[in-house]
Amino acid sequence: MAGLHIIDGGLSTELERLGARVAGELWTGRALLDEPQTVTAAHRSYVDAGAQVVITSSYQLSRQGFEEVGLTAEQADEALRASIAVAREAVAGTGTKVAASVGPYGAVLHDGSEYRGDYTVTQEQLEGFHRERLEVLLSAEPDLLAIETIPNVVEAKALATVLADVEIPKWISFTAASGSHLWSGEPIEEAVAAVKDVPNLLAVGVNCVDPANVAELAARIHSVSQIDVIAYPNRGGVWDSAAGVWIGQEPKTLAQWLPLWQEAGIAWIGGCCGTHSGDIAELTSAARGPAATS
């Protein structure tokens, strides 16, 4: 397991396993508002499974998103800070780190835009959106930033600008439609080139992608950057934003993919939508090798 960092799996999947309500525009943020103790329990499940980093429930939280569903900007800020507080409670005394989730602009549109990358906003507007939310998250002092599910190059460039003076350790991960291109149709290499000089960047990679595409994406990332690669794919398949379900999921587990991903030089591994604490426990055991089960 030396040199390999295990992160958690899909928060929404684990919350649903624990009986939480994960629905509507705020997604895991709804569970945070309605039953924060269950969010803490979900994080703790991942800690117990061996995750060295848990990702907060802030992915879909923003002032804009809250106001669109009849809540206030102040409530959005409170929820962003609370997402870090409940994760802190879960990892207390364990050494597991808390990474504040910074989801893409498309996540707050509630229409699956993060899986298309077809924004109609400018880079300047994206910078304003991310800067506003980051200021609140940073005030709650997470250990890391998990900047995730970025689907296009314009948002990558906006984030590079906003993060230019943010010293906290961070990773940036993109979501892709294939082994070579983002959902926007742009090559993964172009996106990585846009962010590789961000200060204190721990890793760059992909998340919420089909696991079958991870190894090729990692190779392309390595061709542009010497920074560690991170990958936390979903269970495979296609997201139906209208029905709110994944269709045609991959039967192989994260642990079964692990040898190929280690061969591809991926240093940070976990799961996204459709993966749960059992998958992370199995991944942790596989990463430790035969001695873990002897």
Distance CA 276, CA 273 (A): 8
Strand-strand pairing, 238-240 and 245-247:
antiparallel
The pTM of this model reads 0.93
CA-wise closest residue to 34 among 49, 50, 22? 22
How would you write the pLDDT of the chain (294 residues) with one tens digit per residue?
A: 558 999 999 999 999 999 887 766 777 788 898 899 999 999 999 999 999 999 999 998 999 888 888 889 999 999 999 999 999 999 999 999 999 999 999 988 877 788 888 888 999 999 999 999 999 999 999 999 999 999 999 999 999 999 999 999 999 999 999 999 999 999 999 999 999 999 999 999 999 999 999 999 999 999 999 999 999 999 876 666 665 665 666 678 999 999 999 999 999 999 999 999 999 999 999 998 764 333
CATH for 42: 3.20.20.330
pLDDT value of position 66 = 87
pLDDT value of position 292 = 38
Please name the helix (run of DSSP H) or strand (run of DSSP E) that holds residue 138, with its range, or none. Answer: helix 123-139
Domains identified in the chain, total number: 1
Helices in 163-291 by DSSP H: which ranges? 188-195, 214-222, 254-263, 277-288
Q: What type of residue sits at position 203?
A: A
pLDDT value of position 114 = 81
pLDDT value of position 110 = 75
**19-to-31, 37, 117 alpha-carbon distances in Å:** 10, 12, 32
Q: What type of residue sits at position 107?
A: A
Strand-strand pairing, 170-174 and 144-150:
parallel
pLDDT value of position 2 = 56
pLDDT value of position 193 = 98
Task: HSE, CB side, 13 Å, CA atoms: give it for residue 65.
Answer: 28
pLDDT value of position 291 = 43
CA angle 208, 280, 45 (to 5 degrees): 105
pLDDT value of position 109 = 82
CA torsion sign, 189 to 193 to 194 to 197? positive
pLDDT value of position 250 = 61
**160-to-14, 71, 130, 172 alpha-carbon distances in Å:** 31, 30, 11, 10
Non-local CB neighbours of 98 within 8 Å, separated by 6+ positions: 53, 54, 56, 84, 87, 88, 91, 142, 143, 144
Can you give the length of the chain in residues? 294
CA angle 189, 193, 197 (to 5 degrees): 150
CA-wise closest residue to 259 among 231, 240, 229, 286? 286
Query: Which residue segment(s) compose the domain that 270 sits in?
Result: 5-292
CA angle 209, 155, 100 (to 5 degrees): 70
pLDDT value of position 293 = 36
